[in-house]
A and B are shown apart, each in its own frame.
Chain A
Amino acid sequence: MKFSTILTGGLTLCLAIGAQAATLDDVKNRGMVSCGVSTGLAGFSQKDENGMWSGLDVDVCRAVAAAVLGDDTKVQYKPLTAKERFTALQSGEIDLLSRNTTWTHTRDTSLGLNFAGVNYYDGQGFMVSKKIGVTTALELDGAAVCIQAGTTSELNLADYFRENKLSYTAITFDTADQTRAGFESGRCDVLTSDQSQLYAIRIGLKNPADALVLPEVISKEPLGPVVRQGDDEWFNITRWSLMAMVEAEFLAVDSSNVDNAMKNGSPSQKRLLGSEGDAGDKLGLDANWAYNIVKLVGNYGESFERNVGMDSPLKIARGQNAQWNNGGLMYSAPIR
């Protein structure tokens, strides 16, 4: 008797039968969105002293939870390493992968996955110490380069130096902190990483003003959330949760004025926030799905500034990630 209860208890502990088809029903039953994030990436997914997660990638998880469950705290964060992230999604361990994952052709077509959009346009860049007097990456012949091990950074670096017939030595580190320490101690002349991380590494330096980020960007890294292929409903929810954040910024709706906009806003504001039209219904969600996102998480601009922009220690400029009408690439399809 006792043994069998323990056995069944043990089984429930170990096994979670993940349904492959209806992720939305699953999430609603569980009352939680299971979201794969990075084990620690400044500004994107990071844990604080109290164990609370924050970051640009984390905000996507929160937005989906707010849209589906009406509560942005109902997220179960699964920290994943780069190697296990796709397996975790494929096996149904997580509902959504938001872990600074680059959208590439191979990943989109052959892994049984779908990219739901782009929440950060990144690219690999270089940082050098001002002392060595280099202003462009083309002067780096013979340099020692510190790389933060990624999935594509080593390949991009090799390609770039080979293309320009430059020689180099690559020193690969596992984490941002080690890469920074390697650069600071002089183990290498140049540090290369995704630009978003270059800024994070730079502010960790003892003297950030001594370091210079070179203008070259040697790769395209559109980062975005990923879901399983074959569940269009869930794919739509994820895609439009992200779009809603971008659209809200475009329509100048933010967490402070969202209540007012819902009542007295323009027609497109009202359509977004659910006081007009049936956008939520078509997604299989409540009418106020986008209202919840904006109210609880904020629009894309707020999320950006809070996590990586001027209100954060990273102080990354909007650049490519500005709205399309401000010279950026952030563009939401209209909600109508």
Chain B
Amino acid sequence: MIVFKPLAARAAPIQSTGLIGWMRLNLFSNIINSVVTLLIAGLLLMTLPDLIDWLFIKATYTGESQDVCNPDGACWVFVNAWSKQFFYGSYPLESLWRINLSLFVLFVVVAGSNFLPKNLRYPITVPALLFMPFIGLALIDGRLFGLEYVATDYWGGFSLNVLLAAASIIVSFPLSFLWVLGRQSNMPFIKTVCVILIEFFRGVPVLALFFMGSVMLPLFFAQGINIDKLIRVWIVLVLFMSGYMAEVFRGGFQAVPAGQYEAADSLGLSYWHKTLLILLPQVIKVAMPNILATFVMLFKNTTFLLIIGIFEMLATVQTALSNSNWLGGHATEGYLFVGFIFWICCFSMSMMSSSIEKKLNKSNV
């Protein structure tokens, strides 16, 4: 007779839900993982409390001068006192609305290019975008609109970083587009010139280009003609950006299916119709994540202007550090603050870029 012999009960499976299960799965799945987890956790425990203590708990926030600061903590008084300089430079207080308006218009135009209905999008945003830098420049300068004139020496701070980066990338759009068309054309001389231009501005350190703008460019103009330093730097930034953007666009052109070219040709469209109406919209759409990434690079690179003495945000921090009333060594606070502001901007732009990329990938599938 067969006797029913139950198998010995198995142990319950390892808990895989709840906090403990999650930790087991994600932190302590094997010996190496456990060791690494403990190491990282130990490192965090060693550094974080001191850091928080210095950054927030022992820090001094408000006050008039550096004398009120606690030497064991961060002196945010420094950042507080100089915050207007950090954001707007020496721009006259009563005219700050002009900078704010320019930034706002920039924001609206950029946002508009995403939210306007499709049929209005190009006719409105493209001209707006292309004229925006010049209008913004004129507004901040003031003379053209009959406002009080503010020389470029008073511009500065973070708003200068933003506006300079935006004005450069926008102006570089048409220029780089021409360069990349030249590079793809079958006219040998034009092709060579464009390849040289693109490779030159991509291959040279931006710092060397800035030096060219500040020291060499003045020698290139006829005697008696001065071009404002900021404008010179702007020219240099536009050319630099065009080199990078041309490569981005080239990638975009390669991503457009060959059928699009052939269809446009067989419809008998002219070269410019084909390029501007059929290819350009697709190229921009495909290249958008890369355009954003290039912009982030440019935006970060505007801090290099410090080295040629333009009062962008980082340079303003250094000026503040050399003021005889603030000689207490607040470099760390200043740099942390600048780093934080840039991080917020760049991080949100990278987020935007990757979300666009995801959307693109979905629509392609």
Contact = CB atoms under 8 A, between A and B. Distances in A.
A92 B323 CA distance: 28
B134 interface: yes
Nearest to A12: B143
Given A204-B328, A313-B327, A79 B219 contact: no
A335 to B, nearest CB: 32
Interface in B300-330: 307-309, 311, 315, 318-325, 327-329
Chain B CB within 10 Å, residue with most, of A47, A91, A92, A313: A47
A15 B309 contact: no
Contacts, number: 138
A88 B228 CA distance: 10
Interface string B209-246: 00100110011010111111101000000000000000
Interface stretch (B17-25, B80-88, B158-166, B280-288): B80-88
A204 B326 CA distance: 8
A83 B215 contact: yes
Contact of A14 (B231, B327, B328, B331): B231
A45 to B, nearest CB: 10
Given A17-B224, A40-B323, A9 B144 contact: yes
Interface stretch (A173-181, A209-217, A231-239): A173-181
Interface residues of B, number: 49
B309 A39 contact: yes
A87 B232 CA distance: 14
Given A46-B322, A177-B329, 10 more contacts: A13-B144, A17-B224, A43-B324, A83-B214, A84-B215, A84-B229, A84-B308, A93-B229, A200-B327, A206-B329
Interface of B: 71, 81-82, 84-85, 89-91, 131, 134, 137-138, 141, 143-144, 151, 153-154, 211, 214-215, 218-219, 221, 223-229, 231, 307-309, 311, 315, 318-325, 327-329, 331
| For the complex of A and B, 8 pairs with smallest distance between CB atoms | A51-B90, A204-B327, A40-B319, A40-B322, A81-B309, A9-B144, A42-B324, A177-B321
19 contacts: A13-B138, A13-B141, A15-B226, A18-B224, A39-B315, A39-B318, A39-B319, A40-B321, A42-B323, A47-B90, A49-B81, A49-B320, A76-B153, A79-B309, A79-B311, A81-B309, A91-B226, A177-B331, A313-B327
